[in-house]
Structure formats: structure tokens, C-alpha cells
A = this chain, B = another copy of it.
Amino acid sequence: MKTKTALLLIDVINDLDFPQGRKLLRYALPAARRIASLKKRANRADVPVIYVNDNFGRWRSDFRQQVAHCRRDGCLGRELAVRLAPGEEDFFVLKPKHSGFYSTTLDILLKSLGVVNLVLAGFATDICVLYTANDAYMRGYQIVIVSDGVAAEHANWNRNALAQMRRHLGADVRAARSIRFGK
């Protein structure tokens, strides 16, 4: 996995303002720590990092406003946004629905970067990660799922989704530390 790889961070800038947000946070926090370290290594290896992120139903704000919104005091997802703040060199794609590919510029961006391998991390494993992974698979991308860089509201939902992606999408499900970005 030398060149042509991208790291996709799915819905990591997230106010978690939904019924079970607190449940997700419990698993998302340790995942965020591993994602942050993986992202650092990706940046150093010139592997593009792409934030694929919901817009929380607001269409006018840009991504930097969303980051600010999530970093404000009292926001449940504050620590995620602090740990995973995007840098100048990172990309971002607005995702209106579950899948990062549905009605977005993601596929065109990946093609313009010559990317064929995708490393997926983020939340939630059994919703946006799963459906983004299937859309990536249908488009012919090779998929790696960061097993300890994803999270769902319940441990077994997480486990089942990882099993599904391994089974149907040919996904290589592995821990962050075992992912090499080469150089």
C-alpha cells in the first residue's frame, strides 16, 4: 500500500446531538485517539486525508464553521473535534446522506487524486461507515477498515458491521497500528 491510498474520516466532526449520542461517544473517544495518530502518519506520508462529513441538516455553512460549531463548550462531540481538527492540507467532502458517495464529489476527488485504496475510519460503523464502504466497493475501490478507529452505539452492532464488510466487500479489517502508509 504505497501510493494511491487515501484515509477517509467519516462523520468525525460531529456534535453527537442525537438520542444515543452519549452511547456512541463512549466508543468513539478511544477510536478518535487512534484515528488522530493514524491521521498524523497519513499526513507525514503525503497520503490524502479526506473528511467526509454530514452537514447536520444545514447547507449554508462551510466545513470550517462546522468544526467551530463542534468545538464550542458544552458540545458533546467537542473532544472528537479537538482531537481530529482538520489541517490546511486535508480535504473535505459534504455528505448529505448515509453514504459518502451518494450525491457528493467524493468519487471525482478520489479519481483526480488517483486513489484506488481507501482506509476508512469514523462513525457509526453500522451506518455511514458500512454504506460508504459498500458504495466504495461497488465503484471498485480496495477497502481497509480501521477496526479500532470505528465505533457504533453498541459493541455488537460494531462487530456485526465489521463482519459484514469483511464478508461482502472484501474489506481488510485491521487495527490502526498495523496499517502502513509506506512512503
Q: Is the CB of B138 within 8 A of A91?
A: no
A160 on the interface (CB 8 Å rule)? yes
- Chain A interface size band reads 35 or more
A108-B96 contact, Cβ under 8 Å, with A126-B168, A164-B126, A168-B127:
yes
Q: Is the CB of A137 within 8 A of B98?
A: yes
A103, B140: Cα distance in complex, Å: 13
Residues of chain B within 8 A of A63, CB atoms compared = 62
A88 in complex: contacting residue of B60, B102, B107, B127, CB < 8 Å: B60
Instruction: Pick the 8 closest A-B CB pairs, nearest first.
Output: A97-B138, A62-B62, A103-B108, A96-B108, A160-B160, A127-B168, A131-B134, A103-B105
